[in-house]
Amino acid sequence: MTTPLAFWRPARASATSTHRPKKLNWVHIALKFALAAIFLGNLVPLAANAQNLGTAPQFGQAVQGQQATTVEGTVLNIVNWGCNVIAPVIAVACLGVAGWHFKSGRGYMGWGVTGVALMVISGLGRMAEGFITQAQGIQ
């Protein structure tokens, strides 16, 4: 079959348009290639990753006193990652989309509330983490 995939060929001209350039959008293709490379790079780690749990990175540990292979260590890792990385990143993206929608005159409140709610979730998780850290010193 000699027809290129729809992903790579330009879209067909609509009925209202009489002229459409037959050039490929190289910026669009390069962006898709870069995103695919980032995605594949995250699937195949080339270096060992470690958390910084104090003065030096420690491999194979979730938090001090917990093993990464236990259920508790796994849950602590997931909560830590979600509250300290994922929620703030998605919140900033939501707030950026809200600003873009506000600028273009579209509905922005849902995006804004979602971004603020994710920041609240992140803050509550970090607050709980701080309570747990301070409570470890109490005997």
Q: What is the pLDDT of residues 75-132, one digit of tens each?
A: 777 778 888 889 999 999 999 999 999 999 999 999 999 999 999 999 988 888 777 7
Does residue 8 fall inside a structural domain?
no
Does residue 12 fall inside a structural domain?
no
Does residue 112 fall inside a structural domain?
yes
Contact 58, 50 (CB under 8 A): yes
How far is Cα 48 from Cα 118, in angstroms, rounded to an integer? Answer: 30
CB atoms under 10 Å from CB of 91, counted, come to 19
Does residue 17 fall inside a structural domain?
no
User: What is the domain range of residue 75?
Assistant: 26-135
Does residue 4 fall inside a structural domain?
no
Does residue 13 fall inside a structural domain?
no
Does residue 50 fall inside a structural domain?
yes
Q: Is the whole model's pTM more than 0.95, yes or no?
A: no
Overall number of domains in the chain: 1
For tokens 């790079």, what's the residue? 41
Question: Does 8 have pLDDT greater than 80?
Answer: no
